[in-house]
Structure 1
Amino acid sequence: MEDEDVTAALYADHVSRLPGFSPAGRAASVDEARRLVAAALRRDGRFPFDVVLLDMNLPDGHGLDLLGQLRAAGFEGGVLALTAATELPVVRRALALGVVQYLVKPFGFDELAARLTGFRSADALLAGDGRLGGQDQIDDVFRVGRHRGAEELPKGLTDGTLRTVVDAVRAADAGLSASEVGERLGMSRVTARRYLEHLVAIGRVDRRARHGGRGRPEQEYVWRAGAARR
């Protein structure tokens, strides 16, 4: 939900750039959002979206009022607030209604990408009807779902090494394979690939097939134009 057309279009573009995500709809007001949800609800009553990007101050009401109605109707998905509102009563109410991420405008693509990637990781941990494997996985769910940011890395990755991988890819004249990054930085291909795939997941690096050699095409990684270093 966003009442500024240009900003809403930018958010839709950001979401479209992330693997595994696509915009399900766009609303510029509380009333428009209600109508959009009512029209899109499936026959079984399930919501046709997993994450809501929520502005607070809308022309005909407050975003949290709509969220309260969505929760009452059974929506259990993630909610990411994209807003300029920093008043404590608003923040407290957002937490009470299950807003798991809160981005204060203005922000960039990398910040939004990191938080949406966190939603996807949490969803993967919560899929199915079994049970989590103890406190460590419980902590992972709440860390990813509530406060995973651009500087928090998947288990086993370190910020210092990530910076060296970023510098290597950015400085390259052409795309680099995981083997080439590993050779330049003195690490294994598997380790280099983990860092490169993390950069792909948060939208800083693009992965593409390198043709011309024998056998299967090798994957190479290219810094995405306009992506921030951190």
Structure 2
Amino acid sequence: MADLRVLVIEDDPTTGAVYVEYLRKVPGFAHEFTARSVAEAQRFLGARLRETSTFGIDVVLMDIHLPDGTGLDVVRSMRNVGYEGSVLAMTAATDRATIRSARNLGAVQYLIKPFTFADFESRLAAFRQLSTEYTGGGEISDQAEIDRMFGARTEAASSSLPKGLTESTLAAVQERLTHATAPLSAGEVGEAVGISRVTSRRYLEHLTRRGDVTRQPRYGTPGRPEHEYTITAP
């Protein structure tokens, strides 16, 4: 199977360069172009269509918030003219409306920043496996096989705990957030559970990536900006 051609949409040049480097390390993917805005992405895609009558893109790896719109705007315009490729969102956006929009536009992975190369690699590996399953013709008559193919899009999200995290402490962090009457910072959770702020943040970010916790900026506090966390409603 040929390498999947990737369009990166990311406004931060440093982050975009990191993604390109990550892509070089993951077999089966080839970086085509990095756009730092909606306008730049549309110029690139428009030129591709004029030259070859196709986008020549198999995967859109997108951030959500851009200076002149969103990555969703780019993907929506591509879908409107027949793009059938895949979308992977890699973003700090954690609001439900954005996540629903990404899913409705066909996002097969949604990875919340900040994340490690291991997180990136596991999502792309799961996606690559899914792409391989869909390649080729013929029919599949076994429901279990079809279920496995559709389930591949979420397998990566249910991976084991990152190194250094334990189930017991994770449960304690979740328990504290569940009974909180207001959003809590990493320091506040750490103090209640008996762990450091840095360690608390690792657990909270893991829960955020899993979708169990929502993160938002805490405004009105002096000094270094911080985030606060809320348990996701069932």
Provide the alpha-carbon RMSD of the alignment. Answer: 2.0
Q: Is this contact kept in 2: 1:30–1:58, CA < 8 A?
A: yes
Normalised to the residue count of structure 1, the TM-score between the two structures is 0.62
Percent identity (aligned): 42
Looking at structure 1, the residues matched to 128 and 56 of structure 2 have their Cα atoms a distance apart, in angstroms, of: 16
Counterpart of 2:71 (choices 24, 40, 63) is 63
Structure 1 segments (4+ residues) deviating >6 Å: none
Give 5+ residue unaligned stretches, structure 2: 1-8, 164-234
CA deviation profile, 1:91-146 (whole Å, cap 9, x unmatched): 111111111110110001111111111121111111122122421221222122x2
Q: Secondary structure of the equivalent of 2:19?
A: helix
Which deviates the most, 4-13 or 30-39? 30-39
Residues 100-115 of structure 1: matches in 2 within 5 Å?
A: 100-115=108-123
Counterpart of 2:129 (choices 100, 115, 121) is 121
Normalised to the residue count of structure 2, the TM-score between the two structures is 0.61
Q: Secondary structure of the equivalent of 1:106?
A: coil
Give 5+ residue unaligned stretches, structure 1: 153-158, 164-230
Looking at structure 2, the residues matched to 143 and 88 of structure 1 have their Cα atoms a distance apart, in angstroms, of: 21
Question: Across the two proteins, how many residue pairs are aligned to each other?
Answer: 153
Residue 72 (structure 1) shift:
1.1
Q: Is this contact kept in 1: 2:48–2:54, CA < 8 A?
A: no
Call closer, same or farther: CA 1:137–1:46 in 2, change over 3 Å: farther
Residue 148 (structure 1) shift:
2.5
Where does residue 89 of structure 2 map in the other structure?
Answer: 81
The residue type paired with residue 136 of structure 1 is A
Looking at structure 2, the residues matched to 20 and 42 of structure 1 have their Cα atoms a distance apart, in angstroms, of: 27
Q: Secondary structure of the equivalent of 1:23?
A: strand
Counterpart of 1:140 (choices 132, 148, 168) is 148
